[in-house]
């Protein structure tokens, strides 16, 4: 029985990409909103912003490491869908979700009792250290909830549906923004001003609501059940293998980001505050780019499963061009709002002077982001987790670390840190383009379709 060719038209890509963009920015919106709101607290705003930067980087590291199971789930579901074997998955989604939750609880337990030591390693001290601990001890409990939500999003993506994750993300982000203002600054006569702890509670409540909505949508909008039944599905072995490769990859990724935070913190509170603003904006723009990457991921896995190699090449070209267009728009917006963006996060002139002196490097980074994140997402859909692991290790050891410590030796400050980040991203993009050309172009040429 012949399969219907996968639709990779402009309309279909937009149908997947636009909701994925909106859903993808939920987590950075939570962190960015926290940063912007606490950074404008009348007393200790700079220290609070620095603390959110330290904790946000650490939590992002944990989330990115473990949320890779979302990608593995999506890849397995989409490839089976493309091969016409979706019915064979049966109990796999439920087993994958429980695997994700169990993993998150293990990691949470392994880190919760050592947060002070972890933040000290990141050069946090004094008020910044105390605020970091206060913020983390509340927000960390949203960690398993976020990973459950991401696992459900992975199932929806594998089923070629990014609409419901978008709805859940919009609701969660909207609630978080409202609660941030209410709980950080307080509402006279109703809610006392809780400052940085209020930001943490706002994020936790938002994550809980998103998890509940994800659970409901999974049961209502898909044929998936959440009953854990034996035997263990054969695809769980592939899920574990993919996830392990992605864990190692993401550890390498986060070593780079955490070292950047550590070096920025060591420069002084104004520098880590400025870096916190810059990295939040970088993450925010990255998720815009990741939306079209998600379309490539979702459709690419299905195309590979169906051995539609010519369509895979066309898809790759299309999403790359779309992302370069998105990048051009982002660069113009960031340049046009260069000054207002800084003022949105903080009013401290010392912080703003540092930020304005280096923000252009975040803008320069954008085209490299487009290339790296587009091919990164497509390769995940193709199941190339081992190669993605090797690329990140190489980018960190060869592209990032030498530049970071040479720049430190030269006393280039935040310029040096962001130069290392640019080299790191560029290495990833070039390596992935070369791999795609060498492995997948020959499949296209040999294809009879």
Rounded Cα distance, 3 and 290, in Å: 29
pLDDT(56) > 80: no
Mean pLDDT of 245-261: 87
Note if the bond before 321 is cis, omega within 30 degrees: no
- Given pLDDT bands bounded at 50, 70 and 90, which one contains residue 39? confident
pLDDT(2) > 50: no
For residues 101 and 318, the model is more confident at 318
Mean pLDDT of 273-290: 86
pLDDT(60) > 80: no
Rounded Cα distance, 247 and 270, in Å: 32
For residues 106 and 262, the model is more confident at 262
- Given pLDDT bands bounded at 50, 70 and 90, which one contains residue 27? low
Mean pLDDT score of the chain, rounded to an integer? Answer: 87
Percent of the chain scoring above 90 in pLDDT: 38
Q: If DSSP states are collapsed to H, E and C, what string results for the chain?
A: CCCCCCCCCHHHHHHHHHHHHHHHCHHHHHHHHHHHHHCCCCCCHHHHHHHHHHHHHHHHHHHHHHCHHHHHHHHHHHHHHHCCCHHHHCCHHHHHHHHHHHHHHHHHHHHHCCHHHHHHHCCCCHHHHHHHHHHHHHHHHHHHHHHHHHHHHHHHHHCCCCHHHHHHHHHHHHHHHHHHHHHHHCECCCECCCHHHHHHHHHHHHHHHHHHHHHHHHHHHCCCCCCCCCCCCCHHHHHHHHHHHHHHHHHHHHHHHHHHHHHHHHHCHHHHHHHHHHHHHHHHHHHHHHHHHHHHHHHHHHHHHCCCHHHHHHHHHHHHHHHHHHHHHHHHHHHHCHHHHHHHHCCCHHHHHHHHHHHHHHHHHHHHHHHHHHHHHHHHHCCCHHHHHHHHHHHHHHHHHHHHHHHHHHCCHHHHHHHHHHHHHHHHHHHHHHHHHHHHHHHHHHCCC
pLDDT(1) > 50: no
């Amino acid at each position: 029985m012949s399969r219907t060719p996968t639709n990779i038209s402009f309309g279909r890509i937009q149908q997947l990409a636009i909701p994925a963009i909106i859903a993808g920015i939920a987590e950075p919106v939570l962190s960015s909103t926290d940063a912007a709101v606490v950074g404008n607290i009348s007393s200790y705003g700079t220290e609070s912003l620095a603390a959110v930067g330290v904790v946000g980087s650490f939590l992002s590291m944990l989330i990115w490491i473990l949320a890779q199971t979302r990608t593995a789930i999506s890849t397995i579901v989409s490839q089976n869908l493309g091969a016409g074997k979706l019915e064979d998955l049966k109990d796999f989604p439920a087993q994958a979700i429980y695997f994700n939750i169990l993993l998150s609880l293990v990691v949470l337990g392994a880190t919760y009792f050592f947060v002070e030591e972890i933040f000290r390693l990141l050069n946090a001290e004094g008020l910044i250290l105390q605020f970091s601990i206060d913020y983390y001890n509340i927000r960390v409990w949203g960690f398993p909830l976020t990973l459950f939500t991401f696992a459900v999003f992975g199932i929806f993506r594998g089923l070629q549906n990014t609409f419901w994750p978008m709805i859940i993300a919009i609701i969660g982000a909207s609630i978080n923004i409202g609660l941030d203002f209410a709980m950080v600054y307080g509402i006279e006569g109703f809610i006392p001003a809780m400052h940085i702890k209020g930001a943490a509670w706002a994020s936790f409540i938002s994550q809980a609501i998103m998890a509940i909505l994800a659970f409901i949508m999974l049961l209502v909008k898909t044929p998936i059940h959440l009953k854990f039944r034996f035997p263990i599905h054969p695809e769980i072995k592939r899920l574990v293998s993919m996830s392990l490769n992605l864990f190692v990859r993401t550890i390498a990724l986060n070593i780079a980001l955490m070292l950047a935070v550590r070096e920025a913190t060591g420069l002084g509170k104004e520098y880590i505050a400025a870096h916190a603003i810059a990295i939040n904006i970088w993450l925010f723009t990255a998720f815009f780019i990741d939306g079209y990457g998600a379309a490539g991921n979702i459709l690419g896995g299905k195309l590979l499963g169906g051995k539609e190699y010519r369509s895979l090449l066309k898809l790759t070209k299309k999403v790359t061009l779309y992302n370069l267009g998105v990048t051009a728009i982002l660069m113009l917006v960031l340049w046009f709002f260069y000054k207002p963006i800084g003022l949105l996060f903080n009013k401290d002139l010392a912080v703003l002077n540092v930020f304005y002196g280096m923000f252009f490097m975040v803008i320069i980074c954008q085209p490299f982001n487009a290339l790296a994140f587009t091919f990164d997402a497509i390769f995940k859909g193709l199941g190339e987790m081992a190669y993605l692991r090797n690329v990140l290790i190489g980018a960190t050891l060869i592209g990032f670390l030498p530049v970071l410590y040479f720049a430190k030796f030269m006393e280039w400050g935040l310029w040096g840190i962001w130069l290392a980040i640019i080299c790191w991203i560029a290495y990833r993009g070039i390596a992935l383009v070369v791999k795609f050309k060498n492995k997948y172009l020959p499949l296209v040429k040999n294809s009879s379709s």
